A and B are shown apart, each in its own frame.
Chain A
Amino acid sequence: MSAKYSVHWEEINKYRDAMEQGEPLSIQVLFNDLMEWKQAKVIVSEEPIKGGDAAGVVRDFAGTTEGNLFIKILEELPEDSDII
Chain B
Amino acid sequence: MAYHLRNYLDELRERGELLEIDEEVDWRLEAAAIITLSARMNGPVLLFNNIKGYPEGYRLVSNVYAGQYKKPFRRLALAIGLDPNVSSAEFLRQFGERFRSPIKPVEVSTGRCKEVIKTGKDVNLFELPWPYISVGDGGRYSLSQAIITKDPDTNWVNWGNYRTIIHSRNRCATNPLPGAQINRIYEEKYQKRGKSMPIAIALGGDPTIFMVSGASLPEGVSEADVAGGLRGAPLELVRCETSDLLVPADAEIVIEGEVRPYERLPEGPEAEAFLFQSGPRGPAMAIRVHCVSHWKDPILPTLVQTHLGDAQSFYVSMIGFAISMPLMMPPFSGPVKMGGGLPSPVLPGGVISTAVPYEGFLAEAASLVFSGTTGMRYDNMWFIDEDVDPTEYEQVYEEIFANINPKLDIHQTDNWTYHHIVNSNWIEPWDRDKYSIEKALLSTKRWWDCRTKNNRIVKRATFETCFPEHIQKWVVENWEKFGFKEEPMWNKAYQEMKPRVSPDEFKVF
Contact = CB atoms under 8 A, between A and B. Distances in A.
A60 B268 contact: yes
A63 B126 contact: no
Contacts, number: 67
B279 to A, nearest CB: 4
A51 B100 CA distance: 63
B169 A36 contact: yes
Interface in B271-294: 277, 279-281, 283, 286
Contacts of B277: 60-63
Contact of A10 (B28, B126, B166, B281): B281
B266 A36 contact: no
A84 B284 CA distance: 9
Contacts of A63: 134-136, 277
Nearest to B27: A35
A28 B167 CA distance: 11
B433 to A, nearest CB: 13
A15 B386 CA distance: 60
A30 B166 CA distance: 11
A37 B136 contact: no
A61 B268 CA distance: 10
A25 to B, nearest CB: 16
A38 interface: yes
B429 A60 contact: yes
Contact of A35 (B134, B139, B170, B425): B139
> For this complex, into which size category does the number of interface residues on chain B fall?
20 to 34
A31 to B, nearest CB: 9
Contact of A60 (B28, B29, B280): B280
Given A35-B132, A35-B166, A63-B135, A83 B265 contact: yes
Nearest to A63: B136
B168 A79 contact: yes
Contacts of B264: 83-84
Interface in B149-187: 166-171
A36 B168 contact: yes
B140 interface: yes
B266 A34 contact: no
Contacts of A82: 265-266
Contacts of B135: 1, 63-64
A38 to B, nearest CB: 7
Given A34-B126, A79-B168, A60 B265 contact: no
Given A1-B135, A30-B139, A82-B265, A58 B171 contact: no
Contacts of B425: 61
A4 interface: no
Interface string B127-146: 00000101110111000000
Interface string B406-418: 0000000000000
Nearest to A8: B281
A16 interface: no
A18 B279 CA distance: 27
Contact of B265 (A35, A61, A62, A84): A84
13 contacts: A1-B135, A8-B281, A35-B28, A35-B140, A36-B168, A37-B139, A38-B168, A58-B269, A60-B277, A60-B429, A79-B171, A82-B265, A83-B264
Given A35-B140, A79-B168, 4 more contacts: A1-B135, A60-B281, A63-B135, A82-B265
